[in-house]
Structure 1
Amino acid sequence: MAQKKKTRIGAWIIVGVVLVGLAGFGTGGLTGNVRTLGTVGDKDVTVASYQRALNEQIRALSAQFGTQISFQQAQAFGIDRQALSQVVLTRTLDNEATQMGLSAGDMAVFERISAIQAFQGAGGFNRDTYRLVLQQSSQTESEFEAEIREDLARTLLQAAIVAGVPGSAAPADALVRYVAEARDVTLLRVAADMLTAPVPGATDEDIAAFYDANGNQFLLPEAREITYAWMTPSMILDQMEVTDLAIETLYQDRIAEFVQPERRLVERLIYADPANAQAAADRLATNEATYDALVDERGLSLADVDMGDLGRDDLPTETADAVFAATPGDVVGPFPTALGAALFRVNAVLNAQETTLEEASDGLRAELAAEAARSVINEDFDRITDLLAGGASLEDLADRTDLVLDTISWTPAVTDGIAAYDSFRAAAQVATEGAFPELEVLSDGGVFALRLDSVTPARVPPLEDIREDVAAAWQLQAQQDAILARAEEIAAGWDAETDLAALGITPRVETGLTRRSFVEGAPEGFNQTLFDLALGEARVVDAGTSALIVRLDNVTEADPTATDQAAQRAAISDSIAAGIAQDLFDAYAVSVQENTRVTINQATVDAVNAQLQ
């Protein structure tokens, strides 16, 4: 939490926001005449600033989901409201800075602008590039420089508020002691083969009692009884006619896939000066250096010089002759390239490969048939949709089209047949009784429509239907109870003279365990149990089908001043201080907002949003 707050403090410095805005929605505004959404104190809230904030929020959300989010989707997440709140808060702080007389000088503004990458030319900051970029984003120099000046003033205001936040040594020390405290333990695992007597079988009374007490173990999930009609390319594959000419044409179109000439895996090390390239080649010839060492000397990695697999046509004739005459590991050259003289290392030989038309024919035939089947289904899509719209039932579809009728008792655990498709499972999950079927698409190009006939609620089957399962579960529980009892017995008598080998137990010692350590084979909650133990105490832990006896042998207290703990202590202290600073700033911002008059024209905001939809 504190770390997140620390990040938020930096977010108030909006140079990054300005840069994103330059490539964003632009500042053309709503109609070219409306430029503001309202006012905050004496400051205008511009349409452009709202659009930039909105663009940045959508970009962040898209990155989070790994796909481009539409404006409508962003609105569903409340992104438009967040962007407006961000802009209003920023202008509130701008207004407060102005009221306090805070400002930034021309030199500070220039230094900030000249450091922005978008305005750089070959020799650094370029005035013409600066003007062009602003022109493309529909901003004037005076508007942009005013934003930078306000940004700098706002940063001064923020720095003044959060400056002097006291250090957090005491809580940091306490957290380090808690997190870094280490423990040494001895573990004994007790299994079923260590029981001294067999576990008796369950009686009818035992089974009935276990069923009554543990019925939820046998709970059947809600089942949705569904009738569906579907058709996939594989269902009609045999009906598709594929000519030999079509197969040969496809083969020729993809000839590079089936006929591959001999190739080489090659690396290329380039030198701007041919003399340096020759000197490097001479060092290789006399074994004064290796190719890898030459790459390192250039400050490069092998990934930087890797060219991948190349054919003869990918290299000039002279270079290709040398490369293809070389054996794996050989270095040839130097040879001239467009970038300079280069040494080439051959890493592997990829022999020529050829798949004949006859060998490829079956696969190509199946591919063409599948494509034809998808086309047939696609051509029938509108007709089937029209039938459903006209009131046709799924049974009617099966009679009048190539769709196949079937039923399924679907639960989330059912993934066979049509339930293997994500789109079917999604539709089955939300289907309601009485709803009209709709034609939907499967991932392989097939189609389906479904009808929910009934829902069987989650339920526990009658005992007589699952008696064997209940008896087996009782037996497992009885065995585990016996294992735990045996473990308690061993733990109670465990001392230095206990002959563990005679009990069939091999002790396992774990040292330096912290609260964040992972212990292989330990059950959930093991670390909590470990740190609840007193020195020398042994405790039995249920491990599911076995038991662990845990004895605490040693406690190593953490030393926050130790060298190996210093970095962790500093990070915790900084995180706490950042959290306090953010809380102070948030409290200040809220106070300023409460005392600043905010006027926002919601109709203008709605119009801007409508333009973006």
Structure 2
Amino acid sequence: MRKAGQSLVGKTFMAIFFGLLIVSFAIWGIGDIFRATPPSSIARVGKTDITIDAVRTAYNNELQRLGRQFRTVITPEQARLFGIDQQVLSNLVNEAVMSEEARKLGLSVSDQLVARSITEDPAFRGADGQFNRALFDQVLRNASLSEAGFVHEQRSAMARIHLAEAIAGDLTVPMAAREAFNRYSTERRTASYFVLTAAMAGEIPAPTQEQLQSFFDERKGAFQAPEYRSLTAMALDATSLAKPESISDADARQRYEQEKAKFGTPEKRTIQQITFPSKEEAEAAFNRIKEGATFESIAEERKVPPQDLELGTFTKSEMLDPAVAEAAFSLQEGATSGPVDGRFGPVLVRVTKIAPESVKPFEEVAGEIRAELAKARAGDQLESIHDAIEDQRAGARPLAEIAKEKGLPLVQIPAVDSQGLDKAGKPVELPGRDAVVKAAFASDIGVDNEPLRMPDGGYVWFDVTGIEPSREKTLDEVRDQVAKLWHTDEVSRRLSEKARGLTERLEKGEAIEAVAQDAGAAAKSAADLARGVAKDELNADAVTRIFSVPVGQPGNAASGAETRAVFKVTAASVPPLAPTSQEAQQIETQLRNGMGDDLVNEYIAQIRKDLGVTINQQALRQATGGGDL
């Protein structure tokens, strides 16, 4: 085209060609290319738009909160897997619903009330406990909020709170509900019982091939081989970069002198103390001690019992009263101080025992000091090395080559499941295992994964190199496991049948002692049983079953893998609920909160239906890291 454009004919041709091209674009609608804009909102509730920025901010804040809580980095893939994006959007939609309804009802919050809520917020108070304007501006600046935007959000939030309080703020909890709750939580039962053991199931022959195959076919889902993934991972942290041999002897000795107390036990003193109402009385007592009176005799005169005389054994920094500490640690063993103006009045102090400090010599801790210094210096290099590795990753350089060049450890995992276990069921050795495994199972082969930030400040890069899909195992692979489960199931079935017959005898009025004796078991009694709490030979499921049977009636329940309890409920008691007791108030508060939450949720659900809610799922995925806007 360049050559053709150099001649007159070529120039004419090119002018005609581009003219036709321009006309064709005009006909087809090139304007749409320039007019098309990415969506600005993710959801619309009535007349309220939930913007992409609002969702992105709330989503990132939630990821940071969860990251701090679980001490790990949550990737966008993990967040979508856990439904965090949908949860954040649902919360914003609910807020918009309440704001729309508050606006519809004409609810408003005065400027004075909003201002008071801000000035009384502890987050904006300085060291003097008063509202601090500079701190307020700093918090808003750190959160990328304008003052007008923050005030607007505060006003909306307060209106939503007032609406919620109007719906569920003054609920009356019926006495019947309180009594039912009390009965459920405080009822105690007594039952007589005996236990059928596996030996009472009789001799169980080995299963035939047909029985084993049939048992396996009915439970194939329980013998599923999990999906396994092959991983290559490379860790970058201060420990892997540290070179203790590079730390000089002078630097190590300097750190040793600075932190000498860290390498031993500080001096401790056992101290006695007598408190006086005035300094004059303390001075008089001290003069008597100088003249020959004993510390104990002074304590006896002042009616100080021996146990109150002993203050304890402390290091100087552990003592609460600085003046007493200073006096005690300036005395010789067995000596008594003069009057000391202590925090709780004038005192005389005596030191009865001194345990001198014990510090390890430098030679003994030199290796530890060098490792610590090397790790601290290596931490300063982390970010620059991280950036260099990211540049190499952007150039599609394999992890193995990067690890070799940087001298970093490379870990290759042939197979790991989503729980971090290998095919033998053992945890794999992998840096940041839990976070890496979660991220790997949310990724795929060939994906350029973001490095994961570790709690210690390091990074882990990983690649998924292979995927072995989940599959059903064959009977031959799990024959021993299936045979064991078949045997347990057969024991349980036989004991269940036997227990059913014994329970029928109890229903007909036979004494539990006689029935237990015929079964070859000993009848026992369990008192003060609490719902769902195991006791003696009765596991939690058996106790729960006891609470489902009327008093005076028998029953039976599994009380282990190969045991079954046959029982008869003999008594039940419920402590009365005093309306003014603390327990009654707690029950009422718990029920009121639960009922209030239910009312507000039902209210929001109905208003959502009335207003209509539209959600752009594609925009949500883009805003939360699933694509580019």
Following the alignment from structure 1 to structure 2, what is the Cα–Cα distance between the partners of residues 389 and 553?
71
Indicate conservation of the 8 Å contact 1:219/1:460, yes or no: yes
Structure 1 equivalent of residue 525 of structure 2:
509
Deviations 1:499-523 (A, max 9, x none): 8578663443222435365535544
> Where does the alignment leave 5 or more consecutive residues of structure 1 unmatched?
1-53, 104-111, 121-125, 139-153, 296-301, 593-613
Structure 2 equivalent of residue 274 of structure 1:
279
Q: 1:226 to 1:572 in 2, by over 3 A?
A: closer
Q: 1:161 to 1:306 in 2, by over 3 A?
A: farther
Superposed, 1:457-606 pairs within 5 Å as 457-488=469-500, 491=503, 495-496=510-511, 498=514, 500=516, 505-515=521-531, 517-519=533-535, 522-556=538-572, 558=574, 560=576, 568=583, 572=587
Q: 1:422 to 1:572 in 2, by over 3 A?
A: closer
Give the counterpart letter for 2:318 in structure 1: D
Deviations 1:39-95 (A, max 9, x none): xxxxxxxxxxxxxxx99xx99x969976999xxx999836777777777877888x6
Structure 1 equivalent of residue 256 of structure 2:
251
Deviations 1:21-40 (A, max 9, x none): xxxxxxxxxxxxxxxxxxxx
Residue identity over aligned pairs, in percent, reads 19
Task: State the Cα RMSD in Å.
Answer: 6.4
Deviation at 1:179, TM superposition (A): 4.6
Structure 2 equivalent of residue 185 of structure 1:
191
Q: Is the counterpart of residue 263 in structure 1 residue 271 in structure 2?
A: no
Give the counterpart letter for 1:286 in structure 2: E
Of 155-164 and 482-491, more deviation after overlay is shown by 155-164
Following the alignment from structure 1 to structure 2, what is the Cα–Cα distance between the partners of residues 346 and 137?
51
Deviations 1:376-404 (A, max 9, x none): 76654333322221221234435544343
Structure 1 equivalent of residue 305 of structure 2:
290
Indicate conservation of the 8 Å contact 2:531/2:547, yes or no: yes
Pick from 366, 383, 392 the counterpart of residue 388 of structure 2: 383
Pick from 306, 325, 330 the counterpart of residue 333 of structure 2: 325
Following the alignment from structure 2 to structure 1, what is the Cα–Cα distance between the partners of residues 443 and 344?
63
Q: Is the counterpart of residue 434 in structure 1 residue 450 in structure 2?
A: no
Following the alignment from structure 1 to structure 2, what is the Cα–Cα distance between the partners of residues 183 and 486?
25
Following the alignment from structure 1 to structure 2, what is the Cα–Cα distance between the partners of residues 169 and 366?
67
Structure 2 equivalent of residue 48 of structure 1:
none
Superposed, 1:387-406 pairs within 5 Å as 387-398=392-403, 400-403=405-408, 404=410, 406=412
Deviations 1:224-254 (A, max 9, x none): 1223445666667789544433432332232
Deviation at 1:261, TM superposition (A): 4.5
Q: TM-score by structure 2 length? A: 0.59
Indicate conservation of the 8 Å contact 2:551/2:569, yes or no: yes
Pick from 441, 447, 450 the counterpart of residue 462 of structure 2: 450
Deviations 1:143-194 (A, max 9, x none): xxxxxxxxxxx99999999999777234434444455444210232222244
Indicate conservation of the 8 Å contact 1:515/1:528, yes or no: yes
Following the alignment from structure 1 to structure 2, what is the Cα–Cα distance between the partners of residues 87 and 268?
64
Deviation at 1:529, TM superposition (A): 1.7
Following the alignment from structure 2 to structure 1, what is the Cα–Cα distance between the partners of residues 594 and 343?
55
3-state secondary structure, aligned to 1:418: coil
Deviation at 1:409, TM superposition (A): 1.1
**Number of aligned residues:** 511
3-state secondary structure, aligned to 2:476: helix
Indicate conservation of the 8 Å contact 2:431/2:460, yes or no: no
Deviations 1:285-311 (A, max 9, x none): 33723377699xxxxxx99x9986369
Deviations 1:584-613 (A, max 9, x none): 999999999xxxxxxxxxxxxxxxxxxxxx
Superposed, 1:25-36 pairs within 5 Å as none
> Where does the alignment leave 5 or more consecutive residues of structure 2 unmatched?
1-56, 74-78, 111-116, 138-159, 286-294, 608-629
Deviation at 1:257, TM superposition (A): 1.8
Give the counterpart letter for 1:263 in structure 2: K
Indicate conservation of the 8 Å contact 1:179/1:516, yes or no: no
Structure 2 equivalent of residue 206 of structure 1:
211
3-state secondary structure, aligned to 2:472: coil
Structure 2 equivalent of residue 3 of structure 1:
none
Indicate conservation of the 8 Å contact 1:191/1:545, yes or no: no
Following the alignment from structure 1 to structure 2, what is the Cα–Cα distance between the partners of residues 509 and 224?
53
Give the counterpart letter for 1:325 in structure 2: E
Following the alignment from structure 1 to structure 2, what is the Cα–Cα distance between the partners of residues 539 and 589?
45
Deviations 1:174-215 (A, max 9, x none): 4444554442102322222444x3321122222212221122
